[in-house]
Amino acid sequence: MAQYQGLTAEMYRAVVAVVDDRMKEIRVVRQEFDRLVEAHARTEAALNRLSEAQARTEAVLNRLTEAQAQYQEASEARFARIEAALDRLAEAQARTEEEFRKYREASEARFARIEAALDRLAEAQAQTEARLRELAEAQERYQEASEARFARIEAVLEQVVVQLQKLTDRTGKLEGRLLELTYQQKAGSYFGHLLRRPRAFLPAEIEDQLEGRLTQEEFRDLLAVDLLVSGRPRHLADAPQIWLVVEISATVDRHDVERARQRADLLRRAGLRAIPTVAGEDATMGALEEAKTHKVLMLQDGRSWFWEEALAEALQ
């Protein structure tokens, strides 16, 4: 039976088998536990040192085959070191397995905590979504109620606006009527600075003078005039009688000016010297422009405009 420095082939194979078994265990552990690379690296380094020592041992065995007896003790000591290295390797493997066990337990505990946290988060998310749905439904109901309420408010406001407009129109008519009565009753005060002995008339009062000179339609239109004022120009002693065809409004506008012009034309067709006149408490800029352009007398709050121009137009 062949011997290697005092070791039988069987013993040698046993040693090699032991080394192979350890190497297989190390490879299995390394494949299973990637995170233990550092520990495996130390194990591989030990194995590399063991392989190098084995190579040196074989070289020594080859060189010292003839001196086997002399080096028997050294071989036994070397073998003892190999066994010691294997023991250390086994201890390292045991420590590696223990560290991996602890790591796995710690990881499992950590994952358990993460899963619990995720469960709580999922529950909170579900509660949040439910609350958001409730809020969305409440918002939708509130919006529907608000739209209905605003619709009712708008309907009421429309009614109020209509009533206010009616009231405004009625008030305007009353103010206009009051102004008409005021100008009629106080013709001397309003027109005395322009005419001598001014006298206020309603169109029906001079119907005899107009009859036969106007058509029925023209006469009906003239009947709608607010006031007629007759008199002689105060500062022209020899001037003929003048008729003021007066349209009265709280606020005089372009339409009032146009009506005064049209009805003054009707009076002129009946053979009377007529001056279109507008009177009120206020006037629009358009009314002022129209009155100036067409020589229409304007009375506003006790003041008069365009009298000289309108009088000159009437006396032509």
Half-sphere exposure in the Cβ direction for 17 (13 Å, CA): 6
pLDDT tens across the length of the chain (316 residues): 555 566 677 777 787 788 788 777 777 666 776 776 675 677 678 778 877 877 887 787 778 677 767 657 776 777 688 788 778 877 878 887 787 687 677 767 776 787 787 788 778 888 888 888 888 888 888 888 878 877 777 776 677 656 655 554 455 555 666 777 888 888 888 999 999 999 999 888 888 888 788 888 998 999 899 999 999 999 887 889 999 999 999 999 999 999 999 999 999 999 999 999 999 999 999 999 999 999 999 998 778 999 999 999 999 8
Placement of tokens 């130390």 in the chain: 42
- Contact of 234 with 190, CB cutoff 8 Å: no
Contacts 24+ apart (CB under 8 A), 289-296: 290/254, 290/257, 290/258, 291/257, 294/257, 294/261, 296/257, 296/260, 296/261
Closest CA to 201 of 241, 228, 181, 232: 228
Structure tokens at 288: 């002022």
What pLDDT, on the 0 to 100 scale, is given for residue 56?
Answer: 85
pLDDT on residue 195:
94
Residue 155 has a pLDDT of 74
Report the candidate in 203, 171, 172, 198 with the shortest Cα–Cα distance to residue 185. 198
pTM as predicted: 0.48
Question: Using N-to-C axis directions, what is the helix angle for 254-269 and 216-223, rounded to 10°?
Answer: 130
Is there a contact between 43 and 92 (Cβ–Cβ < 8 Å)? Answer: yes
Q: Tell me what pLDDT residue 230 has.
A: 95
DSSP 186: T
Q: Which amino acid, 66?
A: E
Please identify which residue in the block is written with the tokens 């005060």. Answer: 189
